[in-house]
């Protein structure tokens, strides 16, 4: 099942409520990037923002922790209203411990990997997670092009996790390259500029869905 998770980092952050309302009826969740300026060279949303978003929408909050010490912040983000928390296999904290904590709080757990990280690095977690997030660009900044090695990883990960676990992709995704990612095995699509950079975000979402279906039919 194809799911769309718009990246709020690309929205008009000064008007988050109105931005969310524009696409609320046609998307499956909201992707919230959390960056600490250490794990990735940028800063973004924190716990108070997630708490505020949780008050204005019933959509599941898909929180992506691009931070050095997720163990310290998983519980605060859970209390703020996160429904899915994804941590990186590359972070210093133990990924299995992070996933256990997320699940113990009643949330869905995801594991993320950068384009150049071999999928074998997450193989031991395949039975413990609800979602894999394959970054299709190197995290930290928008506007990048998809890395070819990430597309190759998607196929390998789908074989590893089977068909019952979500496989999310994030970075450089537009309607003209989405079908290739879906053909490779992705089913949860994170898009930022492709949605919020469009004068009609709802139309942009529908276009992404149509292209994803074409990829799914092949």
Residues of the chain under the 70 pLDDT cut: 140-143, 217-218
| pLDDT (0 to 100) of residue 123 | 97
Query: For position 115, which CATH number holds?
Result: 3.20.20.70
Structure tokens at 141: 């900044």
13-41 pLDDT, tens digit per residue, is: 999 999 999 999 999 999 999 999 999 98
| pLDDT (0 to 100) of residue 99 | 98
How many domains is the chain built from? Answer: 1
31-70 pLDDT, tens digit per residue, is: 999 999 999 988 899 999 999 999 999 999 999 999 999 9
Task: Give phi and psi for 18, each to the nearest 5.
Answer: -70, -35
State the residue range of the domain holding 8.
3-217
CA–CA distance, 31 with 4 (Å, rounded to integer): 9
CA–CA distance, 79 with 47 (Å, rounded to integer): 9
pTM for the model:
0.95
Q: For the beta carbon of residue 27, count every other beta carbon within 10 angstroms.
A: 24
Task: Find the Cα–Cα–Cα–Cα dihedral 173, 8, 167, 184, rounded to 10°.
Answer: -10
Contact predicate 73/47, CB 8 Å: yes
Task: Give Cα 43 distance to the centre of its chain.
Answer: 17
Catalogue the active-site residues. Answer: 33, 170
CA–CA distance, 144 with 139 (Å, rounded to integer): 9
| pLDDT (0 to 100) of residue 143 | 64
């Amino acid at each position: 099942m194809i799911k769309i998770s718009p990246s709020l980092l690309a929205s008009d952050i000064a008007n988050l409520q109105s931005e969310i309302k524009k696409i609320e009826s046609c998307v499956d969740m909201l992707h919230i990037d959390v960056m600490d300026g250490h794990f990735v060279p940028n800063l973004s949303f924190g716990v108070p923002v997630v708490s505020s978003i949780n008050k204005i929408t019933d959509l599941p909050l898909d929180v992506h922790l691009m931070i050095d010490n997720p163990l310290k912040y998983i519980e605060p983000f859970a209390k703020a209203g996160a429904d899915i928390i994804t941590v990186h296999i590359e972070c210093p904290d133990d990924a299995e411990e992070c996933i256990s904590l997320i699940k113990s709080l009643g949330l869905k757990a995801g594991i993320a990997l950068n384009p150049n990280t071999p999928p074998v690095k997450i193989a031991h977690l395949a039975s413990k997670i609800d979602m894999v997030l394959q970054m299709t660009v190197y995290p930290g900044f928008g506007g990048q092009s998809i890395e070819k090695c990430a597309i190759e990883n998607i196929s390998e990960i789908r074989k590893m996790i089977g068909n019952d676990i979500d496989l999310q992709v994030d970075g450089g995704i537009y309607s003209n390259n989405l079908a290739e990612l879906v053909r490779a095995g992705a089913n949860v699509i994170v898009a930022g500029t492709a949605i919020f950079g469009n004068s009609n975000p709802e139309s942009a979402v529908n276009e992404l869905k149509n292209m994803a279906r074409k990829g799914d039919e092949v």
